[in-house]
């Protein structure tokens, strides 16, 4: 197996738009950043920690997300997510994730991903049909 660097970091960001609001995502009734969108940014940051090390036929899939959304973010504000690789347990990766907007911290938690062969995983998934 390849060597993955504990402590590797990754980031992702967006500016909150209409499509990112809880009222439009279906996760609430307010015009604030939706929790699922914050989680997506955290997952994207985690993926970027290890993407350069993965083989062409490899990818990771999210298997667990345990986060707290601690502060609301309004439309038009920039949001950043950061991830740090904490552990590698065989094919499982454990990340510390956090998110913040221009006013401060908005979320934090732990995220786990699992290494898979992309083609095999997709084929197995679509065999359900």
Please provide the DSSP assignment of 56-71 as one string: TTEEEEEEEEEEEE-S
pTM: 0.95
Q: Where are the alpha helices (DSSP H) in the chain?
A: 22-25, 35-50, 118-126
pLDDT of residue 4: 85
Q: Where is 88: in which H helix or E strand?
A: strand 78-89
* Segment 50-70 mean pLDDT: 96
pLDDT score of 117 more than 80: yes
Where does the pLDDT of residue 59 fall: very low under 50, low under 70, confident under 90, or very high at 90 and above? Answer: very high
pLDDT of residue 45: 98
Domain spans, the chain: 9-126
pLDDT higher than threshold 90 for residue 114: yes
CB 98 within 8 A of CB 45: no
Mean pLDDT, range 25-47, rounded to an integer: 98
Average pLDDT over residues 82-110: 98
pLDDT for 1 beyond 90? no
What CATH number belongs to 9-126?
A: 3.10.129.10
Whether residue 47 is predicted with pLDDT greater than 60 in this model: the reply is yes
Half-sphere exposure of 47 (CA within 13 A, CB side): 14
Largest CA distance in the chain: 46
């Amino acid at each position: 197996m390849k060597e993955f660097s504990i402590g590797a970091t990754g980031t992702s960001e967006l500016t909150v738009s209409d499509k990112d609001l809880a009222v439009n995502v279906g996760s609430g009734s307010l015009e604030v950043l939706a929790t699922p969108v914050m989680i997506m940014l955290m997952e994207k940051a985690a993926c970027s920690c290890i993407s350069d090390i993965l083989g062409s036929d490899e990818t990771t899939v999210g298997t667990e997300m345990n986060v707290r959304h601690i502060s609301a973010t309004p439309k038009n504000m920039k949001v950043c997510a950061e991830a740090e690789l904490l552990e590698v347990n065989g094919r499982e990766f454990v990340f510390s994730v956090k998110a913040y907007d221009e006013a401060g911290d908005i979320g934090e938690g732990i995220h786990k991903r699992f290494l898979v062969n992309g083609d095999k995983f997709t084929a197995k998934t679509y065999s359900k049909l």
